[in-house]
Structure formats: structure tokens, C-alpha cells
Structure 1
Amino acid sequence: MKVVVLGGVAAGTKIAAKLMRENRGNEVLVLNKGKNISYAGCGLPYYVGHVIEDREQLIVNTPEKYAKLTGVTVMTETEATKVDPEAKKVTAVNLATGQEQTYDYDKLVISVGASPIKPPIEGCDLENVFFVRTPEDAIRIREAVDAGNVKRAVVVGAGYIGLEIAENLKLQGVRPFVLDMAEHALPGFDAEMAEYVEGKLQESGIPVVTKVAVTGIEGDGKVEKVLTSKKAYKADLVVLSAGIRPNTSFLDGIGLEMFKGTILTNGKGETNLPDIYAAGDCAMVHNALTEKAAWSPMGSTANISGRLIAQNMMGADFGYRGVLGTAVCKLPGLNVGRTGLTEAQAEAEGFHPVSVITVVDDKAHYFPGAGAFVIKMIADKDSLRLLGVQVIGAGAVDKVVDIAVTGIMLKGTLTDLADMDLAYAPPFSTAIHPFEHTLNVLMNKINGKFETFTPAEYAAGAAEGYKVVDACLAPSIEGAPYVELTTVEGPVEGLDPEEKLLLVCNKGKRAYLLQNRLKFYGYKNTKVLEGGITFSDVEA
């Protein structure tokens, strides 16, 4: 079988290599616009920060090495310019010579990736204005920083790559500002979780300014200032990380079904045109929870779906189960991870979402290096099906996320996922795993044993009319009556059993224990603030 693969990096090289492993007799040709066919795009911020020292480490495979390993024929600096689905031909141009060539295929794979969005503003071509998409981009940014003349930087885009770039610039002594048009940083996180991270980033010296539009970049040959809808920011360096756009314009008019330039595919990776498949950042997959089309420009999605596509091209009948928007990101002193639907998304999809936020130990509290996770867990109140998890903490947030991914992909309910025999030893976890701990708290909330205001509800004014009761380890809320949990053996002096009481502690646990006691002694109107003062600023 003769297969032409347009594009390399993750999806294209995975499909081509798997096709050759499936049948060494296949004739597989990769046409790649760039010189590098396989590089570590997710590692680029860490090259900028000298976490990854050698540029060679960014190159996963050279064309020559890859060709020898796989048996695939590779042509670099060769850009596809036209596809003829009826004749089954691809036209491409050699970028070095300008020569045009036509290639026949039995099956075609389109994995041409995506390119950074260039904002429609003046100044993007000034010196020291960069994108971050290829190894060459990262190399140029690091060279500019290492030259020693960069004191302040502006990063446009508060997604995962933008924040990672900001962290790594700070590691090199650069003062970064992150700007974004969106309401909050970190797409895929609910607002209160994103706000918490934004506060932590501010404390670490990385201010994030949201709801701001960049209107221009100024400088005399070299960037000096970034203009926005709010104010101007001085900058010696600018990184534009405001999104990507699929490289599919050359496919217009051939009858390929697309959404905003992204190729629609079915569960097998097939497009609407016979014998044409698509994968990677230029293609749509689908959401495993909603079954709706989803764009997942992630190396993990490209590799997983690409492997299945290659097998399907060879006659298998595998359906890709879809994505959940899973992501994890390292930030200064903080890791963040998420999967599934946010609470807002779950409601929009017709679920009856219920959530809880916990602040729980990430390992045995007495073990050196122990910290805490902030976990938001979301489930459907009617079916108890797990819908999503968001995690923030200095520890291994990916463990909590991956447990949630497993549960969601298997359509698990909270009952299904309760009491799992997860790994425990003091250096790794708590005796009841943080995931299980949060699940138990959510079940208590659903069952009415734990009556709360979420941080979002509290911020929206839901606790108006409630008296704040300080249940912290030590008095911590100015002006609020303090109640020491362990002394409560009956009605508490000064607290009326009919009064609306908001119980607040450091993390939420002591307030829950106090609520449990007060209910026993006849208190009818108590609420606990989820996450306590760790997560929310509370005034009496």
C-alpha cells in the first residue's frame, strides 16, 4: 500500500512508523515543510529556562535517524500545496529549489499541524518579538535572554505554554507580565480555581492581567512597549502565545469537511473523503463525555489517535474513545491539572452538576515535604457519574488527574470509585488517598451530611445574612466569634440555634466537624465554607 503522510512531528511520524511496523511492505512517504520532523514541542519553555540545556535534546528524531529506524521515506522542506482526492494525487513544492512534484497515493494522511496566531496589530515584526512553536523559536528566545539585555518581558496568552514560558523567563531573572483577553488564565478551569492560581502567580512574581486586549507593540527597531486596552507595559522581549491556527488553507475547495479550518474526522480518523485521514493539531476528534467534536492540540492526543489510525488503515476496526481535555502544567511552586468538564460546561451539557472543593494533604502530614492539594471534584447529582476534576498543589497533581481520567473513561460513578485500594505510604500519599478523600466529602455533600457554600457561591454573596464563626486552629478571622471545636459539648454561648451561621476554618475539615456537632445540639442553619480561608478571603 502506498501512503503519503503530509506533516511529521507527533501524529505524522507516529502513523508512518506504525504503518511500517504493521507491514514492512508498505510504501510510506512523509512530506514535511520544516527541517525537523520530530521535536519536543512541549519542552520548548524548559529550554528557554535552561532546565533543558542542550538544543539537541529538543530533537526527538532527525529525518535520517527516523528513516533508518522505521523504513519510512522522508522528504523535508517540502510543502504540500494541493490535494486531488479524485485522482489521488498530492502536489508539493521543494522549498529549497522551488521545484514542484506530484505524488500518487492509495491512502493519504493529513497531519500538517498548526501555526501560531499572529495578532492583527502593528509591531509583531520588531526585534525581540517571538512566537514559541518550534525549536528555532525557543533557541532564539534563549539567545536573546542570555545576551543579558532583557529585564522585562510580556507574554501574550495565559494558557499552559504562556505560563510555562513566563515561569522559565523568571528563572533567568526576567520580570514577566502575562496578558490575556479571556476572563481568566488556564482554559479548562472553573473561574474560582483559575483565580486562585492567578493569586499564587502574583505572589511568585508573575502578574497575570486578564480581560485585556493587546492593541500594538512599539519600539525603534526593537520592542520597547506593549500597548493594551488598559495601559502600556514596558518590555525588552515579547512572546506571543495567543493560540494556534490549523495549517489547512491549501485544502480549501476540495470538499473536505472542516470547522474553523480544523478537519472533521470520525472515530477511526477518517475524513468525509475516501481514503483520506487526518490527525494532530489540524484535526478534530471528539469529547469522550459529550460525544461532540473536540479540538485537542496535544502531543498525547496526536500519538494515541495516530497509532489507532495506522491500525485502521491496515484493516483494523478501532474507534478512538475520545478526549477529556486533560492537561497538567508546572508553575512556580505550584502544579495544576484538570480533566473532564468544568462545572459550567457540565451544566451547559444538560447535566445536574454538583461540586466540592477540598484542601487535603498530598502525603502524610508528618512526612518531610508534605503539602496540600486543592481539589475540585464535579459529578452529576442524578446519576452520580464523575464528570471532572481540577487540582492545584505543589505535589503530584497528575496522580489525582489520572485516577479521575480512568474513572470518567470507564463511565464510573462516585459509588464505583469509592473505597479503591490506591497506593499508600507516607512519602507518596495519605492513608485515604486525596482523590478518595474528596470523593467522600462530595458524597457527604450530596447526601446532605455536609451543607456548604462553595467559594464561588460565597464570592457571589450567598452568605449574606450569615454570622461568620471562626473554627480555625487558632483565632484567624478578625471580628468573628471563635469556637474551639474540641470544647463543644452542647449549645455554644453566643450562638443561637436558629441563627444562620457560616462556619469557617483553615481548610474546611474543622468547620465540617463543628457543623456535625452543632447539628447534634440543635443548630438548624449552619453552612461550611468549602476550602476555608486557604481558598477564600473571609471577613466577619
Structure 2
Amino acid sequence: MKISIIGATHAGTFATMQILKDHPDYDVTVFERNDNVSFLSCGIALWVGDHIADPNKMFYSSPKELEKIGAHMKMQHEVLAIDPDAKQLKVKDLNGGKEFVQDYDKLIITTGSLPVVPPIKGIDNPKVYLCKDYGDAQVLREKFAGIEKAVIIGAGYIGAELSEQATIAGKEVTLIDAFPRVLYKNFDKEISDRIEQEYRDHGTKLALGQKVQSFEDAGNQVIVKTDKGEYEADIAVWCAGFKPNTKLAEGKLEMLPNKAIRTNEYMQTSNPDIYAAGDATNVHYNPTGKADYIPLATNAIHQGILIGQNIDKPTVKYMGTQATSAVELFGTCMAASGLTVEGAEARGLTVDAVTTEENYRPEFMLTTTPVVSRLVWNPTTHRILGGAVYSKHDVSQSANVLSLAIQNRMTIEELAGVDMLFQPNFDQPLNWLNKVAMAAVDKANQVK
């Protein structure tokens, strides 16, 4: 079978590896417009902050490694057009400029995402940078070494981490976001308020609930103007969201309103011989049971593997996602899975929630520290729809427990009774997730 893959992203790389693992005789060609594959962009802020031992290890594969298992790697080749009827691609070699046609039996679209860059006045200023790929990472690492002041636009995970690392490095940092809180889409106010205080305590200026209107040149600096103020810095970094990179498929495949390619449970598009995965496509979001757009590396990897398992025939169904994630900011662990209250309301769902706080292990230990736990559930069925944890202790794996609870459609009563270990080094006789579930049950019973 002759297979073409557009994009050596997380999804494209894992699709390639899985196909050749299961079908080593298949003819697999990968087209990638860049000169590298599988860059872990989640490590950009850590690299800028000098926490990466070897930047080469931020790539979990390479063209040579994929060639070793049998892939034909066409690096710095851009696919210009798709003809689904003829099963052909129009391709351009970006080095020599030569164009040619590639036939395929099955096509895989893993073109990833693009930064959302609105037509704001001055956004093309040379002191305004993006934070998406390896090229951006190289530039930012070099620039941050020689600056004193930075403005970061976008308080999602990437902007939040970059702001934290710049602040720790002694830079004067302003973090701007149109939403009223840091990590607005990831955590409810009960948790995000706490991390915002960490930013303020460490000297970061928060400019939240503000929309950037222009970038103006000021000699050696750039002025970022919002609807509520202006901020001068040596550089500005735009980290305000991503969109599917799917122009090639427009008018040829079914899409969500945001242009993400719609796929079924086997990762097939509306054309059964064309598959899609990663940031270019939708996910099945288990908390709502509906298609959604959630660009995360974990989603891309799982979907890429699924394509490999289903490339010959539909075999393994997509289990969906809870959008489970975690971040460490100023020595504090924040982890979440599923819906926040505001995320539920934005999707038209009615939910209830509760927050608890207690030490992660007994007070008779020489040291302990509080854990804030939050749980979101359906008030009618009591099914768990989301949750989050926050602590100076590493509670990140609690998000994985919450993810299992959501995926398995557990109720708050069931999570309250789950058997979890007790050992004074690690936790209390009742784990903090048991406790927050118990608090949820108490609150639900009061409503009756």
C-alpha cells in the first residue's frame, strides 16, 4: 500500500512509526516543510529558562530514525494541493523549487496548527516574536539572554510558563491576556487566583482583561498598547492561541466551524481513504460527548497511533480525551482534567463544583503542605466532568486519576469510595481526591 503523510508533527511521526511497525512492507512517504520533526514545543519556556540539558533531546525522533524503519522522508517539501479524486498530491521541493505529483492509496493529514495572529497594527514589528516551533525557540532563547523587559501576550500554558521563566531570570515581565484570569481555560477562579498571587509576589505585572490594539516602535523598544493601557519593553512575544493548519483540505473534507478536519472514531475523515490527526483535527471530548478542538501533544500522539492501527481497515476505536494537563509555576504544581465550571457553561452545560484544602500528609510528619482540590460534576447524574489540584507538593498524577474517573463515567459517590493507599510519607488516611469527592457528595445531598 502506498501512503503519503503530510506533516511530521507529533501525530505524523507516531502514525509513521505505528504503520511501519504493523506493516513494514507498506510504502510510506512523509512530506515535511521544515528541516526537523517531532519538536516538543512544550519545552520552549524551559529551554529559554536554561532548564534543558540538551536541546537536541527535545526531538523524540529524527528523519534518520524514521528512514531506518522504512519511511521515505521528504524534508523541506511542501504539499501545495490535494486531489482526493485522483488520489494525488502536488508537491514542491523548497530547496530546488522543483514541483512534482505524488500518487497515494491512502493519505494522512497531520499538518498541525498555526499561531492565531490577528491583523493588529504593528504586529509585524521586528521586536514582536512568536512562540510555536523550534525556530521560534532558538530566537527566543537568544533574545531573552540580552533583554531586561518583556511583554508576553497570552496567559495560556505557553505564555504563563514563558512569563514565569523570564521573571525567575530577573527580567521585568508584563503578562497580558484578554481573559480576566491567568490560565482562564484551564482552571477555575478558586485555583487561578492563587497562581496569580504567585506572579505578583515574584514581580510579574499582570494586565488581564485587556485586548492588544497595536504595537508601536520606540527605537530600541516596542510599545504594546491595549484598550486599558500601554507597556514598553525590549521585546513582545505573541502566545495567544492556535488554529488548525488545514487550508489544503478546505472544500474537500468536512470540517468544524473553526476549520478543524472532522474525523470519525477510527480517525477517518469524510473521505474514508484520508485520515487526519493532531492539531489539524477534532477530538472526541468525553466530558461532553461531542467533537471539540483541543490542541495538545497527548491528543496528537494517541490519534497518530490510532491511524497506524486503522490504516488497513477500521479496527481500534478512539477512546476520546479529557484534555488532561499539568504545569509547574514558581514551584507550584497545577494539574487538571476535564471541564472547569466556566468551560461547562460555555458549552451550555449545567454543573456544580466544590473546592477543598488540606495538608497532603499528616501533621505529625516533620513537614507537610496544603493541597487544593476541585471537582466538577453533573448535578443530575452526579457524573464527574472535571477536576483540578494545586499544591507545592507534586500532585500532578492526581490529574490522571481524575482523567480515568471522567473517562469511565464515574460518579462523585464512586470516587469518594475508591480504594487509595495510605502511608504517612505520601498522604492522609483518605486521599485528597477521596476527600473532595466526599465534599461533593455532601453538597449534592444538601441540594435534595
- State the TM-score, normalizing by the size of structure 2: 0.94
Residue 64 (structure 2) aligns with: 64
Corresponding residue number in structure 2 for 1:458: none
Q: Distance in 1 between matches of 2:28 and 2:248?
A: 22
- Alpha-carbon distance in 2 for matches of 1:89, 1:429: 58
Q: CA deviation at 1:55?
A: 2.4
Query: CA contact under 8 A between 1:335 and 1:394: conserved in structure 2?
Result: yes
Counterpart residue number, 2:307: 309
| Partner in structure 2 of residue 16 of structure 1 | 16
Matched, 1:135 2:134: yes
Q: State the Cα distance separating 1:80 from its structure 2 match.
A: 0.8
Q: For residue 159 of structure 1, what is the aligned residue in structure 2?
A: 156
Residue in structure 1 matched with residue 92 of structure 2 by the alignment: 93
Does the residue aligned with 2:221 lie in a helix, a strand or coil? Answer: coil
1:35-50 aligned at under 5 Å gives the runs 35-50=35-50
In 2, Cα distance between equivalents of 1:169 and 1:182: 21
Distance 1:348 1:172 in 2: 37
Is the CA contact (8 Å cut-off) linking 2:127 and 2:222 kept in structure 1? Answer: no
Counterpart secondary structure, 1:87: coil
Spell out, residue by residue over 1:244-282, the C-alpha distance to the aligned partner (whole angstroms, 9 max, x if none). 122222333334434322111111111111300110111
**Is the Cα–Cα contact under 8 Å of residues 198 and 207 in structure 1 kept in the other structure?**
no
Cα offset, 1:61, TM superposition: 2.2
CA distance in 2, matches of 1:222, 1:103: 48
Aligned residues: 447
2:110 aligns to what? 111
Query: 1:93 touches 1:101 (CA, 8 Å); kept in 2?
Result: yes
1:349 Cα shift? 5.7
Partner in structure 2 of residue 121 of structure 1:
120
1:414 aligned residue? 412
| Identical columns (%) | 30
Q: In structure 1, the residue corresponding to 2:272 is in which secondary structure?
A: coil
- How far off is 1:221 after superposition? 5.9
- State the shift of 1:382 in Å: 2.5
Q: Which residue of 1 aligns with 2:441?
A: 443
Name the residue aligned to 2:224.
226
Name 1:466's counterpart in structure 2: none
Deviation at 1:100, TM superposition (A): 0.7
Q: Deviations over 1:23-65 (max 9, x none)?
A: 1111111100111112111111100000114322222222112
Structure-2 separation of matches of 1:283 and 1:133: 18
Aligned amino acid, residue 111 of structure 1? T
The equivalent residue for 2:168 is 171
Q: Is the 8 A contact 1:79 1:94 kept in 2?
A: yes
Query: In 2, Cα distance between the equivalents of 1:101 and 1:368?
Result: 69
In structure 2, what residue type is equivalent to 1:164? E
Task: Give the superposition deviation at 1:444.
Answer: 2.0
**Alpha carbons 1:356, 1:378 under 8 Å: kept:** yes
Superposition pairs of residues 254-403 of structure 1, within 5 angstroms: 254-346=252-344, 353-403=351-401
User: Structure 1 CA distance, aligned partners of 2:191 and 2:24?
Assistant: 50
Per-residue CA deviation, residues 358-413 of structure 1 (Å, 9 max, x unaligned), is 11212333445521111111222322211210222212232221111111111111
Quick check: 1:185 aligned with 2:178? no
Distance in 2 (CA, whole Å) between partners of 1:99 and 1:269 is 32
What is the CA deviation profile of residues 297-345 of structure 1, one whole-angstrom value per residue up to 9, with x for unaligned ones?
A: 1110011121112111122422212122222111113221211122244
Greater displacement, 11-20 / 209-218: 209-218
Hey, what's the Cα distance between the residues in 2 that align with 1:321 and 1:227? 44
Alignment of 1:459-478 (within 5 A): none
SS of corresponding position for 2:100: strand
User: Which range is displaced more, 167-176 or 51-60?
Assistant: 51-60
Looking at structure 2, the residues matched to 238 and 120 of structure 1 have their Cα atoms a distance apart, in angstroms, of 16
Alpha-carbon separation, structure 1, partners of 2:125 and 2:343 = 39
User: Contact (CA 8 Å) 1:296, 1:323: kept in 2 or not?
Assistant: no
CA distance in 2, matches of 1:447, 1:60: 49
Superposition map of 1:491-530 within 5 A: none
Secondary structure of the corresponding residue to residue 15 of structure 1: helix
Change in CA separation of 1:232 and 1:432 when aligned onto 2, cut-off 3 Å: same
Higher relative contact order (CA 8 A, sep 6+): 2
Deviation of 1:126 after TM superposition, in Å, equals 3.0
Letter in 2 for 1:83: I
For the residues of structure 1 that align with 2:221 and 2:243, how far apart are their CA atoms?
Answer: 25
CA–CA distance in structure 1, aligned partners of residues 293 and 349 of structure 2: 22
Question: Do the aligned residues in 2 keep the contact of 1:375 with 1:390 (CA within 8 Å)?
Answer: yes
Equivalents in 2 of 1:135, 1:255: separation in Å? 30
Distance in 2 (alpha carbons) for counterparts of 1:328 and 1:119? 28
Equivalent residue letter for 2:36: N
- Kept after mapping to 2: 8 A contact 1:324/1:339: yes
Match of 2:82 in 1: 83
Output the TM-score relative to the length of structure 1.
0.79
> 2 CA distance for matches of 1:257 and 1:381?
33
Letter in 2 for 1:75: K
Between stretches 86-95 and 199-208, larger displacement belongs to 199-208
Cα RMSD between the aligned structures?
A: 2.0
Corresponding position of 1:465? none
Which consecutive unaligned segments of at least 5 residues does structure 1 have?
A: 452-540
Q: What do the CA deviations read for 1:399-439 (whole angstroms, capped 9, x no partner)? A: 22111111111111122223322233233222211101111
Residue number in structure 2 paired with 1:55: 55
What are structure 2's unaligned runs of at least 5 residues? Answer: none
* 1:223–1:368 Cα change, 3 Å: farther
- Could you tell me how far apart the structure 2 residues matched to 1:92 and 1:232 are? 45
CA distance in structure 2 between the aligned counterparts of 1:88 and 1:366, rounded to whole angstroms: 69
